[in-house]
Structure 1
Amino acid sequence: MTNIVELKVKPDFIKHYKNKYPLITKDAIANPGALSEEGMIVHLVDQHSRFLAKGYYGKQNKGLGWVLSFNENEKVDTVFFKNKILAAINKRQSYYHDENTNAFRIFNGEGDGIGGFTIDYFDGYYLISWYSKGIYSFKDKVIRELDELGDYKAIYEKKRFDTKGQYVDDNDFVKGEQGEFPIIIKENGMNYAVHLNDGAMVGIFLDQRDVRKAIRDKYAKGKNVLNTFSYTGAFSVAAALGDATKTTSVDLAGRSKSKTIEQFAVNGIDYEQQDIIVMDVFDYFKYAKRKELKFDLVVLDPPSFARSKKHTFSTAKDYPGLIQDTLAITEKNGIIVASTNNASFGMKKFKGFIDRGFNGMKYKILEEFSLPSDFQVNRNFNQGNYLKVVIVQKLG
């Protein structure tokens, strides 16, 4: 016990941890100077040194570390990690047995009891994302459990723990048999090309699975579709497979074109019949308005914060303006898929942004989405339920 550092929680924050709040925030700790080496086990205590919670020190953009247990006697050892990972996998058995989907999240950080890392499964390949040096110090315990589970092709990892929480470019391969990339995964019967060895992003965001299915099954048929901030064109693929008359994918990143072509190709879609445009989305809005282009379905899934040479965009400030720009090129009774992964506000506030963007114009909310069930959420940590998607129909 002598190696455990006590962190004194300020009186205003004691209730948080009594209510099982999982994040150790800098604002809550009276003596952050007591912290030294990331990965060290800490006890949160009140002003009378009474135990509140046990966690680890690991700096990331969200805080100083994560609570692991509210039981003072629970050991943070190999058995602890084994139990948490096994419990998480048991909750996801339906995904393992889904013939149409073989890519999903098997461990979602604090939602599954250990904040700071996630594990995704891509058709026999595991991908671990580490968000602090602190959690990375427990790497061997996590790998050991994946080894005990066995029956995998390889393990890859992404280190995302520099001072700004960004990706640390390093060798991504951990063990097993190195993959021939891209690997082609299935999601609700759609194909997507995935690269586990090529930078921070793999080619698809698994948290949007339900939204892609809805676009394909309910909204795309016979529609002229615009996919903004399109990344690798995953929404465009779903729309094309849902019998959209045409898709237009717009993204500023130079690589987006070749990546989008790849996603169309692995689905047998003639990419030359689709428009794939490398351009600042805000410049494209001006171009489309000038050319009097109109779309039946527009997908808006911007990053929480983006900066180009001409524009700076923040969802927390600029989403109403984004909706206004979109309405100008949306057909009467057209549909907007409004999405954000910004964790700093909830669904109610996001709907407020949408309402401000419509600015008195009539609309109807058709459907709402948050994280799919494999992205388990800790009910005491609202920020963990970050995804908000509202499918809106413009009336008139």
Structure 2
Amino acid sequence: MKNEMTVTVKDQLKNELVKGSPLITKEGLRGEIDAPQGTLLRLVDEDGQFLATGYYGEQNKGVGWVLTRNQDEAIGQAFIERKFETALSRREDFFNNPETTAFRVFNGEGDGLGGLTIDFYAGFYLLSWYSEGVYSLRDEVVAALQNVTNCIGIYEKKRFDTKGQYIEDDDYVAGERGEFPLIVKENGMNFAVYLNDGAMTGIFLDQRDVRQAIRTKYAEGKTVLNTFSYTGAFSVAAALGGADKTTSVDLAKRSSAKTIEQFSINGIDFEEQDILVMDVFNYFKYAKRKGLAFDVVVLDPPSFARSKKFIFSAAKDYTGLMKQAIDITAPQGLIVASTNSASFNMKKFTHMIEKAFKDTDQKYKIVETFTLPADFHVDRRYQEGDYLKVLFLRLL
């Protein structure tokens, strides 16, 4: 980030920046940014007064992030090291917990550098880049991380392709190459992760507290349906929590082998569980037709999904999905309603659920609520960063 330009912001964005928001929006700027991504932006108001220094990096939320509100602070490796040291100190309890060896150590704008997240996997660090702009800091970020941690090795995921596709590349960056699967622990459970195999690693770390709640409070003696199951992490938690049986449903063909792997490394007989490769929407119809009913239904769809017959958007379609889940949940059963969509807040999510129950003439109560866990540090001045919304719903 050697280039720098001065950009004037409109009053509305100025007010947001003064309140502490780290997001730079396109509509909040006077004119276009005629510069390469990664350019430092000196943000000033209409009177030319300095507001903040940020960087230009286009992603779905905006065109950049604030880095500092001190106009004399230089942006470089030393700046990044200070951010990392603060973030690492916030996760000290995680580093000292041998029962959990996978967690987030740097959470983008929540830790002061939007567009970059870093996850820890049993000594390895995984960098996720969300814009070309922040990727221009790659060398400084890697050097800073090596300076402030005892990392075994570093891997990366580049998630900023303009066509919305993950950029396939050699994900190895520095240090030792890992041997995969790498087995990590989460509250004593084992999970197999791959840092070198496409966009996903095999586990979503932000659901740690939800999995622990299912395992310790809700699974024992129950039948559990895990929809959009991915590698079956919720199913593993339920099985270890004493579930009578788990059913995992996901459209991806590789989900079956991945789920079998997760069961196996936890000493669970996968043949005693149901693992189905099929469209979740078709499964709902099948289950209703067969009169199936589950004690616990986990409903954690992607924000956007496409199959041969369906296009699903959480913002538009979650209510309809919830109605189908209600239809196959046993009386007094539990639905774990979850979404990671950042396009709406918890209030709107609750309204979607209310409508589903009203439309099906069912009653419910919320027994637990979860947002992002502690390692996914959120800037309280930018609550949009707290994207995870999970409600445990008891049918009445």
TM bucket (normalised to shorter chain) is over 0.9
The answer to whether the 8 Å contact 1:102/1:122 transfers is yes
The farther-off stretch of 187-196 and 74-83 is 74-83
1:13 Cα shift? Answer: 2.2
Q: Is 1:56–2:33 an aligned residue pair?
A: no
| Other structure's SS at 2:73 match | coil
Distance in 2 (alpha carbons) for counterparts of 1:61 and 1:83: 27
The answer to whether the 8 Å contact 1:20/1:70 transfers is no
Where do 1:261-340 residues align within 5 Å?
261-340=260-339
Match of 1:169 in 2: 168
| Other structure's SS at 2:83 match | helix
The answer to whether the 8 Å contact 2:84/2:148 transfers is no
Match of 2:215 in 1: 216
Match of 2:68 in 1: 69
The answer to whether the 8 Å contact 1:196/1:202 transfers is yes
The answer to whether the 8 Å contact 1:61/1:165 transfers is no
Distance in 2 (alpha carbons) for counterparts of 1:344 and 1:253: 25
The farther-off stretch of 367-376 and 38-47 is 38-47
1:77 Cα shift? Answer: 1.8
Q: Residues 311-368 of structure 1: CA distance to partner in whole angstroms, max 9, x if unpaired?
A: 1111111111111101111100000000000111111111111111111421111100
Match of 1:44 in 2: 43
- AA aligned opposite 2:282: D
- TM-score using structure 2 length: 0.97
The answer to whether the 8 Å contact 2:366/2:393 transfers is yes
1:143 Cα shift? Answer: 1.1
The answer to whether the 8 Å contact 1:60/1:164 transfers is no
Distance in 1 (alpha carbons) for counterparts of 2:3 and 2:120: 35
The farther-off stretch of 20-29 and 122-131 is 20-29
- AA aligned opposite 2:21: Y
Relative distance call for 1:11 and 1:393 in structure 2 (3 A) is same
The answer to whether the 8 Å contact 1:362/1:394 transfers is yes
Q: Residues 231-258 of structure 1: CA distance to partner in whole angstroms, max 9, x if unpaired?
A: 0000000000000000000011111111
Q: Which runs of 5+ in 2 are unaligned?
A: none
Where do 1:58-207 residues align within 5 Å?
58-207=57-206
Relative distance call for 1:216 and 1:222 in structure 2 (3 A) is same
Q: Is 1:5–2:17 an aligned residue pair?
A: no
- AA aligned opposite 1:382: Q
1:151 Cα shift? Answer: 2.5
Distance in 2 (alpha carbons) for counterparts of 1:154 and 1:36: 34
The answer to whether the 8 Å contact 1:131/1:165 transfers is no
Distance in 1 (alpha carbons) for counterparts of 2:34 and 2:50: 17
1:139 Cα shift? Answer: 1.2
Q: Residues 158-199 of structure 1: CA distance to partner in whole angstroms, max 9, x if unpaired?
A: 011111454211110011111110011000000000000000
- AA aligned opposite 2:96: H
1:150 Cα shift? Answer: 4.3
Distance in 2 (alpha carbons) for counterparts of 1:114 and 1:146: 14
Distance in 2 (alpha carbons) for counterparts of 1:383 and 1:4: 28
Match of 2:375 in 1: 374
- TM-score using structure 1 length: 0.97
Q: Structure 1 residue runs of 4+, over 3 Å off?
A: none
Match of 1:362 in 2: 363
Relative distance call for 1:343 and 1:91 in structure 2 (3 A) is same
Q: Residues 203-262 of structure 1: CA distance to partner in whole angstroms, max 9, x if unpaired?
A: 000000000000000000000000000000000000000000000000111111111111
Distance in 2 (alpha carbons) for counterparts of 1:109 and 1:237: 29
The answer to whether the 8 Å contact 1:130/1:161 transfers is yes
Match of 1:244 in 2: 243
Q: Which runs of 5+ in 1 are unaligned?
A: none
Distance in 1 (alpha carbons) for counterparts of 2:57 and 2:107: 17
The answer to whether the 8 Å contact 2:370/2:391 transfers is yes
Percent identity between matched residues is 59
- AA aligned opposite 1:68: L
